[in-house]
Chains A and B, each alone.
Chain A
Amino acid sequence: MKKSLITLLAVGSVALVASAAPQSFDFKDPKGVNNAVFKLDAPLEAINGSANGVSGTVEFDAVKPAATKGKIVVASKSLTVGNSVMQDHMHGDGWLDVAKHPEISFAVKELKDAKTEGNVTTATAVGTFSLKGVEKEISIPVKLTYLKGKLADRSGGQMKGDLLVIRSTFAIKRADYNIKPGQAEDKVANDIELTLSIAGAAPQK
């Protein structure tokens, strides 16, 4: 009886450890659902746009969310606004210079103050934000929703696995990233609000 109980406990522990292994979620989304929205509100002009060239991977463990690490990348040339002339200027060498700096990224080092309720984890992600060749360590609020077994729904039944949805809203200052600091602030606000809404897939092996 004692032996079988010990065996049961050992098997149970192994199973627990195995299920607690971090999963790698791939955020590349050919359908373009994953997106980052940006807003600039200057006295003379409000600019609203979005980018859907999202990619990157995040290692996430539902049991240990604080150990989350990874990198999310947005292709600079995928940034879109409602006026094509404005978009050309935005992509040009005077502003984002997408030819020289094709990627905007956030590399997560750790999650602080992680709180998990059900399948939702809220935390502060600490990491390096990279824009136009300038890197800065920032902390941003994040909400991670772990959707176990939902990859099949998203892939029309072609793949089985899990999804991780990451949402975050935070602000940066373009002057901090050498984007025409101190210039044209009446038309292009210094403060940029970014909203990230992305889902990564971890296919079953």
Chain B
Amino acid sequence: MKRGIQILAAMLAVVVVSLWFAKGANTGWTKNRVQVKTIDPVTEIEQVEWQDKFLPGVDILGGGLAVAGVLIVGSLFIRKQTKQQEPQHS
């Protein structure tokens, strides 16, 4: 049980960090849309449009690592289960 929780915590940490890096390592808060800018050829105005895109931020990174940390710390309080020896009958 203890080992299982620790493995789960490690996997969670790896998944959260990998996802954060893969999505561009956004150091701001999580976004669900991003700005797309194009230049209007006639007026030269920079047009701003919004595109739906999930960008995990430091809140998701921190939250995921915090949960992994709590799991690790919690696992330390779980006593290692030892196999109970069957009483010997004489």
- Give A residues with C-beta under 8 Å from B: 32-35, 37, 45-46, 48, 50, 52, 80, 82-84, 86, 147, 150, 153-154, 163, 165, 197-199
Contacts and interface: CB of A to CB of B under 8 A. Distances in A.
A80 B50 contact: yes
B35 A50 contact: yes
A159 to B, nearest CB: 13
Interface of B: 28-35, 40, 42-50, 55
B49 A154 contact: no
Nearest to B52: A84
Nearest to A164: B43
Contacts of A199: 40, 42-43, 45
18 contacts: A32-B47, A33-B40, A35-B45, A35-B48, A37-B48, A45-B28, A45-B29, A46-B28, A50-B35, A80-B33, A84-B33, A150-B42, A163-B43, A165-B43, A198-B45, A199-B40, A199-B42, A199-B45
B59 to A, nearest CB: 10
A16 to B, nearest CB: 28
A51 to B, nearest CB: 9
B42 to A, nearest CB: 5
A165 B40 CA distance: 12
What secondary structure prevails in chain B residues at the interface with A? strand
A80 B48 CA distance: 10
B61 to A, nearest CB: 15
B47 A33 contact: yes
Nearest to A37: B48
Contacts of B32: 82-84
A85 to B, nearest CB: 8
Given A32-B49, A33-B47, A50-B48, A82 B42 contact: no
